[in-house]
Protein backbone atom coordinates (compact mmCIF):
# COMPACT_ATOMS: atom_id res chain seq x y z
CA UNK A 1 0.00 0.00 0.00
CA UNK A 2 1.27 3.47 -0.87
CA UNK A 3 1.25 5.97 2.01
CA UNK A 4 -1.11 8.39 0.22
CA UNK A 5 -3.39 6.10 -1.81
CA UNK A 6 -4.04 2.44 -2.53
CA UNK A 7 -2.33 0.88 -5.51
CA UNK A 8 -4.29 -0.89 -8.23
CA UNK A 9 -3.14 -4.19 -6.76
CA UNK A 10 -4.42 -3.19 -3.31
CA UNK A 11 -7.80 -2.22 -4.77
CA UNK A 12 -8.03 -5.52 -6.66
CA UNK A 13 -7.14 -7.52 -3.55
CA UNK A 14 -9.74 -5.62 -1.50
CA UNK A 15 -12.51 -6.08 -4.08
CA UNK A 16 -11.73 -9.78 -4.51
CA UNK A 17 -11.31 -10.24 -0.71
CA UNK A 18 -8.02 -12.01 -1.34
CA UNK A 19 -5.89 -10.94 1.65
CA UNK A 20 -5.08 -11.75 5.24
CA UNK A 21 -6.76 -10.04 8.24
CA UNK A 22 -3.97 -7.55 9.10
CA UNK A 23 -3.82 -6.34 5.49
CA UNK A 24 -7.61 -6.12 5.37
CA UNK A 25 -7.65 -4.05 8.57
CA UNK A 26 -4.99 -1.67 7.19
CA UNK A 27 -6.94 -1.23 3.94
CA UNK A 28 -10.20 -0.66 5.86
CA UNK A 29 -8.50 2.01 7.98
CA UNK A 30 -7.16 3.74 4.88
CA UNK A 31 -10.52 3.60 3.11
CA UNK A 32 -12.24 5.15 6.14
CA UNK A 33 -9.98 8.20 5.81
CA UNK A 34 -9.59 8.47 2.00
CA UNK A 35 -12.62 9.34 -0.16
CA UNK A 36 -10.64 8.99 -3.40
CA UNK A 37 -9.68 5.38 -2.67
CA UNK A 38 -13.24 4.63 -1.50
CA UNK A 39 -14.45 5.85 -4.90
CA UNK A 40 -11.96 3.61 -6.71
CA UNK A 41 -13.01 0.60 -4.64
CA UNK A 42 -16.70 1.36 -5.23
CA UNK A 43 -16.11 1.66 -8.97
CA UNK A 44 -14.18 -1.62 -9.09
CA UNK A 45 -16.91 -3.35 -7.07
CA UNK A 46 -19.54 -2.14 -9.57
CA UNK A 47 -17.44 -3.42 -12.48
CA UNK A 48 -16.93 -6.80 -10.81
CA UNK A 49 -20.63 -7.06 -9.95
CA UNK A 50 -21.60 -6.22 -13.54
CA UNK A 51 -19.17 -8.80 -14.88
CA UNK A 52 -20.54 -11.48 -12.54
CA UNK A 53 -24.11 -10.72 -13.68
CA UNK A 54 -23.27 -11.17 -17.36
CA UNK A 55 -24.35 -14.45 -18.90
CA UNK A 56 -21.60 -17.01 -19.22
CA UNK A 57 -21.05 -18.85 -22.45
CA UNK A 58 -18.90 -21.86 -23.02
CA UNK A 59 -16.01 -21.86 -25.45
CA UNK A 60 -16.63 -23.33 -28.90
CA UNK A 61 -15.88 -27.05 -29.11
CA UNK A 62 -13.24 -26.56 -31.78
CA UNK A 63 -11.41 -23.71 -29.99
CA UNK A 64 -8.57 -25.95 -28.84
CA UNK A 65 -8.12 -27.36 -32.35
CA UNK A 66 -8.12 -23.86 -33.87
CA UNK A 67 -5.54 -22.62 -31.39
CA UNK A 68 -3.36 -25.67 -31.98
CA UNK A 69 -3.61 -25.21 -35.76
CA UNK A 70 -2.68 -21.53 -35.47
CA UNK A 71 0.32 -22.35 -33.29
CA UNK A 72 1.46 -25.10 -35.66
CA UNK A 73 1.10 -22.73 -38.62
CA UNK A 74 3.21 -20.09 -36.89
CA UNK A 75 5.84 -22.66 -35.86
CA UNK A 76 6.07 -24.04 -39.41
CA UNK A 77 6.35 -20.51 -40.83
CA UNK A 78 9.13 -19.74 -38.35
CA UNK A 79 10.92 -22.97 -39.26
CA UNK A 80 10.62 -22.20 -42.99
CA UNK A 81 11.93 -18.70 -42.37
CA UNK A 82 14.97 -20.04 -40.52
CA UNK A 83 15.61 -22.68 -43.21
CA UNK A 84 15.45 -20.03 -45.94
CA UNK A 85 17.92 -17.66 -44.25
CA UNK A 86 21.22 -19.32 -45.34
CA UNK A 87 20.15 -19.29 -48.99
CA UNK A 88 19.24 -15.61 -48.78
CA UNK A 89 22.60 -14.83 -47.17
CA UNK A 90 24.52 -16.66 -49.90
CA UNK A 91 22.44 -15.01 -52.65
CA UNK A 92 23.00 -11.58 -51.11
CA UNK A 93 26.75 -12.07 -50.87
CA UNK A 94 26.86 -13.35 -54.45
CA UNK A 95 24.83 -10.33 -55.61
CA UNK A 96 27.18 -7.94 -53.82
CA UNK A 97 30.17 -9.55 -55.53
CA UNK A 98 28.37 -9.44 -58.87
CA UNK A 99 27.53 -5.76 -58.36
CA UNK A 100 31.15 -4.96 -57.59
CA UNK A 101 32.29 -6.85 -60.68
CA UNK A 102 29.71 -5.12 -62.91
CA UNK A 103 30.71 -1.77 -61.38
CA UNK A 104 34.36 -2.39 -62.19
CA UNK A 105 33.42 -3.49 -65.72
CA UNK A 106 31.40 -0.30 -66.07
CA UNK A 107 34.37 1.84 -65.01
CA UNK A 108 36.64 0.03 -67.48
CA UNK A 109 34.04 0.53 -70.22
CA UNK A 110 33.82 4.24 -69.39
CA UNK A 111 37.57 4.48 -69.85
CA UNK A 112 37.70 2.34 -73.02
CA UNK A 113 34.78 4.13 -74.70
CA UNK A 114 36.30 7.53 -74.01
CA UNK A 115 33.35 8.69 -71.91
CA UNK A 116 35.68 10.10 -69.27
CA UNK A 117 37.61 11.99 -71.94
CA UNK A 118 34.32 13.28 -73.36
CA UNK A 119 33.22 14.52 -69.91
CA UNK A 120 36.60 16.23 -69.43
CA UNK A 121 36.25 17.92 -72.83
CA UNK A 122 32.74 19.16 -72.03
CA UNK A 123 33.87 20.38 -68.60
CA UNK A 124 36.92 22.22 -69.98
CA UNK A 125 35.32 23.57 -73.16
CA UNK A 126 31.55 23.93 -72.68
CA UNK A 127 31.28 26.07 -75.81
CA UNK A 128 31.98 22.97 -77.94
CA UNK A 129 28.95 21.29 -76.43
CA UNK A 130 26.74 24.34 -77.01
CA UNK A 131 28.00 24.88 -80.59
CA UNK A 132 27.56 21.26 -81.64
CA UNK A 133 24.82 20.15 -79.27
CA UNK A 134 23.24 17.47 -81.50
CA UNK A 135 26.60 15.92 -82.35
CA UNK A 136 27.67 16.18 -78.72
CA UNK A 137 24.55 14.33 -77.53
CA UNK A 138 25.16 11.53 -80.05
CA UNK A 139 28.82 11.37 -79.03
CA UNK A 140 27.77 11.13 -75.40
CA UNK A 141 25.31 8.31 -76.16
CA UNK A 142 27.98 6.43 -78.14
CA UNK A 143 30.57 6.83 -75.40
CA UNK A 144 28.34 5.64 -72.56
CA UNK A 145 28.57 1.92 -71.76
CA UNK A 146 24.79 1.48 -71.51
CA UNK A 147 24.83 -2.31 -71.15
CA UNK A 148 27.29 -2.13 -68.26
CA UNK A 149 25.30 0.65 -66.61
CA UNK A 150 22.05 -1.33 -66.86
CA UNK A 151 23.67 -4.53 -65.56
CA UNK A 152 25.22 -2.66 -62.63
CA UNK A 153 21.93 -0.96 -61.73
CA UNK A 154 20.01 -4.25 -61.84
CA UNK A 155 22.67 -6.00 -59.78
CA UNK A 156 22.49 -3.24 -57.17
CA UNK A 157 18.68 -3.47 -57.09
CA UNK A 158 19.01 -7.23 -56.60
CA UNK A 159 21.32 -6.60 -53.66
CA UNK A 160 18.75 -4.25 -52.12
CA UNK A 161 15.89 -6.73 -52.57
CA UNK A 162 17.90 -9.62 -51.16
CA UNK A 163 19.12 -7.51 -48.25
CA UNK A 164 15.50 -6.65 -47.43
CA UNK A 165 14.61 -10.36 -47.56
CA UNK A 166 17.56 -11.07 -45.30
CA UNK A 167 16.25 -8.54 -42.77
CA UNK A 168 12.73 -9.98 -43.09
CA UNK A 169 14.01 -13.50 -42.48
CA UNK A 170 16.37 -12.60 -39.65
CA UNK A 171 14.12 -10.09 -37.86
CA UNK A 172 10.56 -10.73 -39.03
CA UNK A 173 8.88 -8.30 -36.64
CA UNK A 174 11.17 -5.38 -37.46
CA UNK A 175 10.69 -5.24 -41.19
CA UNK A 176 9.75 -1.85 -42.61
CA UNK A 177 7.50 -3.35 -45.26
CA UNK A 178 5.38 -5.65 -43.08
CA UNK A 179 2.26 -3.90 -41.88
CA UNK A 180 0.99 -4.96 -38.50
CA UNK A 181 3.01 -8.14 -38.18
Give yes or no: residues 48 and 90 share one domain. no
- Is 59 a member of any domain? no
Give yes or no: residues 95 and 164 share one domain. yes
pLDDT digits (tens, 9 = 90+) for 4-15: 888 888 888 888
The C-alpha angle with vertex 35 and arms to 33 and 37, in degrees rounded to 5, equals 95
- Is 123 a member of any domain? yes
Q: What is the pTM of this model?
A: 0.50
Return the DSSP state at 60: P
- Is 74 a member of any domain? no
- Is 180 a member of any domain? no
Q: State which residues form the domain around 45.
A: 8-53
- Is 72 a member of any domain? no
Q: What is the pLDDT of residue 153?
A: 94
Residue 36 has pLDDT above 80, yes or no: yes
Give yes or no: residues 168 and 92 share one domain. yes
Count of domains forming the chain: 2
- Is 58 a member of any domain? no
Amino acid sequence: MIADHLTSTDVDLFVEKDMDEPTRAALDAHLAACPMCRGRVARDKRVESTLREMPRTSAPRDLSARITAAVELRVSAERARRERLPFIVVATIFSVLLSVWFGLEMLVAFQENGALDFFALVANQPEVFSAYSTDAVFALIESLPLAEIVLTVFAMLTVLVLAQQWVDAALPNRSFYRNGR
